[in-house]
A and B are shown apart, each in its own frame.
Chain A
Amino acid sequence: MTALELRDVSKVYGVGPTEVHALRNVSLTVDAGVLVAVMGPSGSGKSTLLTIAGSLELPTTGEVIVEGTSLASMSRNERARLRRRSIGYVFQDFNLLAGLTSLENVALPLELDGVGAKRARVAGMQALEELGMSDRASRFPDELSGGERQRVAIARAVVGDRHLLLADEPSGALDSVNAEGVIRLVRAACQRGVAGVIVTHDAQLASWADRVVFLRDGRIVDQTMPPPGPESLLTPDARS
């Protein structure tokens, strides 16, 4: 099932001489259970692509379809509900609320969506358990390590019944061991059926994706082919 589709999406900021074409005719399809990485240098349009995919911004032209529904056909309120219910975001700097515990942070999107406090907490606890963080449920963000904070952020992004996980440089400033931990969790969420899009300039992170799309000057210029089985690396040629 297609979870996210961008059809010929362009985004222009400003007008006249200050006009900036952040995205140009971008088309991208992400199926449920698939992790796609978008790689490109700063200014290539990666973050714009993600905010448009997550309905935080509307494209100038083109269409964004989330779980079969075009965002253009929805009201502001309907889009806000879609964001609360179906889309999870993970940001580089985690964006956890400092005054809330891990569990409260994770349960918050459900509560905002009108789910009762008790049910929201049960679902939040389940998401924390899946990420091995249930023993940190009552800790506040400043009592957690960087890696733990990002786990909480991922739990918040997948809590409830979310089908689309969008991540902007999700390993941020984490060291390579913690960064690998984070991307393994994102990948595990995708293996449970979530569609994932991560934007990153980090090739090691991107290499966990099923497909890597390369963005340059707002355009998709290339993408990886489905890789052959890894056994091909273990032939005698691998010695050289």
Chain B
Amino acid sequence: MSVRHALLALLSEGPKYGLQLRQEFEARTGEVWPLNIGQVYTTLQRLERDGLVESDDEGEEGPQKGFRITADGAAELAEWLRTPPDMTSPPRDELVIKVLVALTLPGVDVRDVVQVHRRYVVELMQQWTRLKDDATDDEVGFLLVVDAELFRLDAVIRWLDAADGRLARLAADPPPVVTGSPLLPPRLRRRMGARP
């Protein structure tokens, strides 16, 4: 989450004070991302240094100092909104690594390992769903954040289910074992963040 761009977005609605920016940021993200006031002021200082916001010249440092977005800031914000985040390389996913390791260890039932993680993720989803259930329709920002988290966790469950199915099929019809073959081709190993 880019605090820098979130602050620019809030300032694009009109001039605001630092404390106000923090409150609005938290309110809009459904208080899922708490932000400390120090973080707000350091970010504002950097934005000012880069010419993306301006502050009241006379106002003293502190809660009474107002900030407003510049034309460069507005352009930066518009550019950021339309720039897709980098999703090209798989993130170094600890869960994937754990399942891969379980696959190679003797005496470990991979499907049991998969189930431990599946249960944990479903329990997390139950908690997010309770939050969604308690929310009212007008808490749009919060509901979107909760949905995003539920879809992310849902994708993890789908991967675990797919892994489980693949392993079950493999157990029913094992392929000939080639000794010494690496678990992952070297190129993918690097991308998964495995050490050489």
Contact = CB atoms under 8 A, between A and B. Distances in A.
Interface string B122-160: 111111111101100000000000000011011001100
Contacts of B126: 207-209, 212, 224, 227
Interface of A: 39, 41, 184, 187, 201, 203-204, 206-209, 212, 214, 216, 221-225, 227-228, 230, 232-234, 236, 238-239
Given A41-B161, A234-B32, A238-B32, A222 B115 contact: yes
Contacts of A222: 115, 118-119
A239 B134 CA distance: 21
A42 to B, nearest CB: 9
Nearest 3 interchain pairs by C-beta = A207-B125, A203-B157, A207-B129
A183 B1 CA distance: 31
A201 B108 CA distance: 25
B123 A239 contact: no
Interface residues of B, number: 32
B168 to A, nearest CB: 8
Q: Is the interface of B mostly helix, strand, loop or mixed?
A: helix
Nearest to A187: B133
Interface string B57-72: 0000000000000000
A208 B154 CA distance: 13
B127 A203 contact: no
Given A230-B128, A238-B32, A224 B165 contact: no
Given A203-B121, A238-B32, A239-B34, A208 B129 contact: yes
A204 B154 contact: yes
B56 interface: no
B118 to A, nearest CB: 7
B130 A234 contact: no
Contacts of A221: 115
B13 to A, nearest CB: 24
A77 to B, nearest CB: 40
B127 A228 contact: yes
Given A41-B165, A222-B119, A224-B119, A234 B125 contact: no
A207 B126 CA distance: 4
Q: Which of the listed residues A203, A225, A230, A239 has the most CB atoms from chain B within 10 Å of its own CB?
A: A203
Given A222-B119, A236-B34, A203 B128 contact: no
